[in-house]
Amino acid sequence: MVLLGALINALLIMTGALVGRIFKNIPESMKSTVLSIIGLAVALLGIKMGFESDNFIILMISLVVGTVIGEWLDLDKQMNRLGKWVESLFSKNRTDNNQIGIAEGFVTASLIFVVGSMGVIGALDSGLRNDHNILITKGLIDGFISIILTSTLGIGVLLSAVPVFVYQGLIALFAGVISSFISDAALQMFIQEMTAVGGVMIFAIGLNIAGLTKIKAANLLPGLIIVGIVVAIFYIF
């Protein structure tokens, strides 16, 4: 089931929101420690994915060229700017305190869970390989974060599960359709190298979550497009 990963991710967000609604006073030290452990586990997943590559040259070219493009476009900054703009739409002309709380919780959580490279990589993995490990891992992270957000922003966080499911589900479905038009050999080659490129990004995200680095992971996203181009060139020639 192509949408299984996206569905589990959404359900874990909802579960986390419900838990956060019940347990509002979570010690800061516990939040910090658990988040660091999750980050290290995510980094380990990234390392495992990185070893999927059969051609280190493709991996390097895709990452370097993709990162140069991402830095030039400053995707991280653009995505943050988009998030702030969307959030500002919900902050204008509101007078009802309950509506404000629900809207802010919904928007803030949606931006945190949707704006990021892990969701894109995971959805592609679901669509191309029917492998949902990344989205399930992301769901565990999102679920924990939703506990924290709900304890401060309210039940609106639970509603963010809807755009997360739609966004990741559409990417997974699109990837599944595209895979049917590619030969098995080319598809296998692309999946291996895309997984490895995505693994490096997941590794960076894990280190960021653990608080060890501040890599702008979103600026690496063009590498997922570049790897397709490079694989096509290598496959043809």
Q: What pLDDT digit, counting tens, does each position of 15-66 carry?
A: 999 998 888 777 878 878 887 888 898 899 889 989 989 999 999 999 999 9
CA-CA distance, 17 to 149, in Å (whole number)? 8
What's the one-letter identity of residue 159?
A: L
- Residue-wise pLDDT for 111-154, tens only, equals 678 766 788 889 988 998 899 999 999 999 999 889 988 877 77
Q: How many CA atoms lie within 13 A of 95 on its CB side?
A: 0
Q: Which of 10-24, 86-100, 104-118, 178-192 has the lowest mean pLDDT?
A: 86-100
CB distance 200 to 27 below 8 Å: no
Residue 139 sits in which domain range?
4-236
> How long, in residues, is the chain?
237
Q: Is 119 helix (H, G, I), strand (E, B) or coil?
A: helix
Q: For all residues of the chain together, what is the average pLDDT?
A: 85
> Does pLDDT of 8 surpass 90?
yes
> Does pLDDT of 71 surpass 80?
yes
Which of the pair, 31 or 14, is modelled with greater confidence? Answer: 14
The reported pLDDT for the residue numbered 179 is 82
- Residue-wise pLDDT for 173-185, tens only, equals 999 888 888 888 8
Would the pTM count as exceeding 0.85?
no
CB distance 16 to 35 below 8 Å: no
The reported pLDDT for the residue numbered 56 is 93
The reported pLDDT for the residue numbered 44 is 92
Above pLDDT 90, what percent of the chain?
40
Tally the domains of the chain.
Answer: 1
The reported pLDDT for the residue numbered 68 is 97
